[in-house]
Amino acid sequence: MQTSDQPRVPALFDLTGRNALITGGASFLGYDMAEALSEAGARVAVTSRDRARAIAAAERLVNGGGHAIGIELDVTRDESVAGAAATATERLGPIDILINNAGGGSSESAAELTRRDTAVIRRMIEVNLTGTLLMCRAVADGMMTRGTGKIINIASIAGLVGRDRQIYADAGMAGQPIDYAAAKAGVIGATRDLAAWLGPHGICVNAISPGGFGPRRLPDRFVADYARKVPVGRMGRDTVDIKGAALFLAAAASDYVNGHNLVVDGGFSVWK
Ligand SMILES: NC(=O)c1ccc[n+]([C@@H]2O[C@H](COP(=O)([O-])OP(=O)(O)OC[C@H]3O[C@@H](n4cnc5c(N)ncnc54)[C@H](O)[C@@H]3O)[C@@H](O)[C@H]2O)c1
C-alpha cells in the first residue's frame, strides 16, 4: 500500500538538483549516459580530451533542454583530473554522480599479446584502470564529506569472459587485446573494494559491463557473427541500450545496490 512518505517511482529516478560528471562523454556510450542523466534532470559535465568536442556535446544536451557544460579531461594526467573535478565543482556544484566511461579497447598495435608493444599494454591499463582510480580519488573526499554519492565504473564483459577470436579474424579485424580484458577485470575488482570502502560513507559504487555495441564502423560480417552469439540476437544499440542501466545506478532507485556489476550484454556472457 502506498503511504505519503513513500517515494513514488518517478521520484526514485529523478535526478533534479544532482550534478554528474561523465568522462569521455562526448560520443557513443558516454554521450548516451550523459543524455540519460540530463533527461532525468541532472546538471551534467561532459568531458573529452578535446575541449571543443566536450563543449559541442554539452551544447547538444542544452539544445535538448538540459543543463550541461563541456570540460577538457585526460584521465591519465593528474593535473587534468584535478582540474576537471575542480572546474565541474566550481561551475555546477559538488559532484554527486561520477561515471568513469573513458577508456576503450581499440588498439594502436597488433592485438595478439606476443606481438604487442609494452608501451601499448601499459597505456591500455593506464587509460581504463588507472584513469578510473584517479577519478574516484578526485571525488571521494568530497562525497565522503557530504555523506552521499554515486560512482559508476564502465567495465566490460571482457572482464568476465574470454573471447572467441575467430569472428574477428573472419571479419578482418584485429581482435581484443588481452590487456583490455585485464584492465576491465581490474575495474570490476576495484569497484567491489571501492564499494566496501565508500559504502559506510553513504556512497554507492557499481560497475556496468556492456557487451558489444554497434553497428558503428564495424564490418557487417562481424555484426552478424556477433549477433549469433547473443541470446537476444543482436548487438547493443547505441543511443538506447545503456541508458536504463546508467540512470538506475545514478538514481535513488539503486540506493541499496552497492558493489554490483550490472551486465548489459543481451545475455552474451551466459550463453555457450
Ligand atoms: N562499445 C562497446 O561495444 C563497449 C563494450 C564494452 C565496454 N565498453 C566500454 O564503454 C566505454 C565507452 O566506450 P565507447 O565504445 O562508447 O567509446 P570509445 O571506446 O570510443 O571511447 C571511450 C571514450 O573515452 C575517451 N578516452 C580515451 N582515452 C582517454 C583519456 N586518456 N582521457 C579521457 N578520455 C579518454 C575517448 O575519447 C572516448 O570518448 C569504454 O570504457 C569502453 O571500454 C564499450
Task: Give tens-digit pLDDT for 166-225.
Answer: 999 999 998 899 999 999 999 999 999 999 999 999 999 999 999 999 878 899 999 999
pLDDT for 1: 60
Task: Domain count for the chain, please give it.
Answer: 1
Q: Is the torsion defined by CA of 35, 19, 27, 116 positive or negative?
A: negative
Tell me how crowded residue 148 is: count the other CB atoms within 10 A of its CB.
15
Q: From 101, 160, 223, give the residue whose CB has the most ligand 1 atoms within 8 Å, as the site to mutate.
A: 101
Q: Ligand 1 centre and the CA of 154: distance in Å?
A: 9
Dist. CA 98–CA 22, nearest whole Å: 6
Which regions of the chain does DSSP assign to beta strands (E)? 19-22, 43-48, 67-72, 97-100, 149-154, 203-210, 213-214, 236-237, 261-264
Q: Ligand 1 centre and the CA of 102: distance in Å?
A: 5
Is pLDDT above 90 for 78? yes
Dist. CA 120–CA 183, nearest whole Å: 13
Dist. CA 34–CA 40, nearest whole Å: 10
Q: Tell whether 228 is covered by a domain.
A: no
Please check whether residue 57 is in contact with residue 31, taking contact to mean a CB–CB distance below 8 angstroms.
yes
Q: Tell whether 83 is covered by a domain.
A: yes
Lowest mean pLDDT among 43-47, 122-126, 183-187, 212-216: 212-216
Tell me the backbone φ, ψ of residue 4, rounded to 5 degrees: -70, -25
- Sheet containing strand 149-154, edge to edge, reads 67-72, 43-48, 19-22, 97-100, 149-154, 203-210, 261-264
Ligand 1, atom 43: closest residue by C-alpha: 104
Quick check: pTM over 0.75?
Answer: yes
Q: Tell whether 88 is covered by a domain.
A: yes
Dist. CA 168–CA 212, nearest whole Å: 12
Ligand 1, atom 32: closest residue by C-alpha: 74
Categorize the per-residue pLDDT at 109 as very low, low, confident or very high, splitting at 50, 70 and 90.
confident
Residues 14, 18, 19, 20: what is their CA dihedral angle, to the nearest 10 degrees?
-30
Range of the domain at 204: 9-108+124-161+179-212+239-265
pLDDT for 5: 82
Residue 192's domain is classified under what CATH number?
3.40.50.720
Q: Tell whether 219 is covered by a domain.
A: no
Instruction: List all residues whose CB is within 6 A of at least one atom of ligand 1.
Output: 23-24, 26-30, 48-49, 73-76, 101-105, 127, 131, 154, 156, 210, 212-213
Q: Tell whether 72 is covered by a domain.
A: yes
Q: Tell whether 199 is covered by a domain.
A: yes
From 31, 168, 180, 226, active-site residue: 180
Averaged pLDDT for residues 54-59: 98
Q: Ligand 1 centre and the CA of 41: distance in Å?
A: 24
Q: Tell whether 118 is covered by a domain.
A: no
CA distances from 99 to 103, 148, 170, 193 (A): 12, 15, 34, 17
Q: Ligand 1 centre and the CA of 224: distance in Å?
A: 22
pLDDT for 32: 98
Q: Tell whether 58 is covered by a domain.
A: yes
Which residues fall within 8 angstroms of residue 228, CB to CB, at 6 or more apart?
A: none
Q: Ligand 1 centre and the CA of 9: distance in Å?
A: 31
Ligand 1 atom showing the smallest separation from residue 235 Cα? 3
Active site residue 180: yes
Averaged pLDDT for residues 100-120: 89
C-alpha grid cell, residue 231? 541470446
